[in-house]
Amino acid sequence: DSGIGGLTVANAIKKALPNESIIYFGDTKHLPYGEKSPKTINEYSKKICDFLIKKNCKMIVIACNTASSVAYQNIKEACPETTIVNVIDPVIEYLSKESPSKKVGIIGTKGTINSGIYSKKIKEKIANTQVRTLATPLLAPMIEEGFINDTISKTVINNYLEKPILSGIEKIILACTHYPLIENIVKEFYNNKVEVIDSASQVASYVKKTLEKENLKSQQQAEYRFYVSDYTDSFEKSAKFFFNENIHLEEVIL
């Protein structure tokens, strides 16, 4: 991921698969991804995958909706020996099998929303569903700066959710891996009348199923390693919050 957002996915994977070691890369130097061009996101994503492949990862989870939207296909082609998972398909699968609905709202970065990927995939897989999308570019940097559960974050989030384009939705997809950290404020806004779907838990069960199917599950003691392209306090704090005090965090130049 570009920063701490993917930690929500890594944390869900840790809970679902306690014997799997995780090597996490947060590209904090280039954050936010949501504002960058697809070409640039592709370049960063490829470098990160090369790094992870050198570390012998058997699977790479693109724990970022922006990179999943614009770089997944290219990464899959460039890394044929490694299983690549994006954070969009598991959510579409959940929606089509478990929770179809007539009107779905989607919020995410400009990169994700402008790619049109969610609308395209939903149209392909689920009949009669209206999709309402809204780019919410202030949210990822706000969360990265630690504004998670206070008056500032509530004001910004409510301002976005009040937009007419989202009125009358039955479900909302948090199409950015940073957003599970503000999920409670979204739920509060809708007074629990709208289902809030985040990718972290869907991705974790998808990863589990895939490892089982490909016979890749580990039985060993798990280890967690964290790499960032630029050391930041907020990253260290969040990594400790999810993965306890003794985390191993290193800065690397790609």
Q: Which of 2, 28, 115, 232 binds ligand DGL (CB under 6 A)?
A: 2
Decide whether 1 or 20 has the Cβ nearer to ligand DGL: 1
In this structure, are residues 207 and 8 in contact, taking their beta carbons and an 8 Å threshold? no
Which residue number, 28 or 129, has a Cβ lying nearer to ligand DGL? 28
Q: Which of the stretches 52-60, 62-70, 210-218, 234-242 binds ligand DGL when contact is defined by CB under 6 A? A: 62-70
DSSP 9: H
CB of 137 to ligand DGL, least distance (A): 8
Which residue is listed with tokens 């509530």? 154
Contact status, residue 15 vs residue 200, Cβ threshold 8 Å:
no
- For ligand DGL, what does the binding mask look like between residues 123 and 162, x meaning CB under 6 A? -----------------x----------------------
Residue whose CB is less far from ligand DGL, 33 or 72: 33
How many C-beta atoms surround the C-beta of residue 8 within 10 A? 28
Q: Per-residue contact track with ligand DGL, 7 to 46, x per CB under 6 A?
A: ------------------------xxxx------------
Let me know if 68 is exposed, middle or buried by CB neighbors in 10 A (0-12, 13-18, 19+): buried
H/E segment holding residue 131: strand 130-135
Cα(187)–Cα(30) distance, integer angstroms: 30
Active-site residue set: 64, 176
**Residue 176 makes contact with ligand DGL by CB under 6 A:** yes
Residues with Cβ within 8 Å of 238's Cβ and at least 6 positions away in sequence, in order, are 4, 7
Token output for 144: 């990265």
Is the Cβ of residue 40 or residue 100 nearer to ligand DGL in the bound state? Answer: 40
Copy the structure tokens of residue 160: 């976005």
In this chain, which of 133, 177, 201, 238 binds ligand DGL, going by CB under 6 A? 177
Q: Which of residues 65-84 bind ligand DGL (CB under 6 A)?
A: 65-66
Which position among 157, 178, 185, 202 is part of the footprint of ligand DGL (CB under 6 A)?
Answer: 178
Q: Which residue has the tokens 């130049």?
A: 253
Query: Which pairs with CB-CB distance under 8 Å and at least 24 residues apart come from 243-249?
Result: 243/7, 243/10, 243/11, 243/14, 248/224
Q: How far is the CB of 139 from ligand DGL (least distance, A)?
A: 8
Using CB under 6 A, count the residues that bind ligand DGL. 16
Q: How far is the CB of 72 from ligand DGL (least distance, A)?
A: 12
- The tokens for 247 are 């985390």
- Contacting residues toward ligand DGL, per CB under 6 A: 1-2, 5, 31-34, 64-66, 109, 112, 140, 176-178
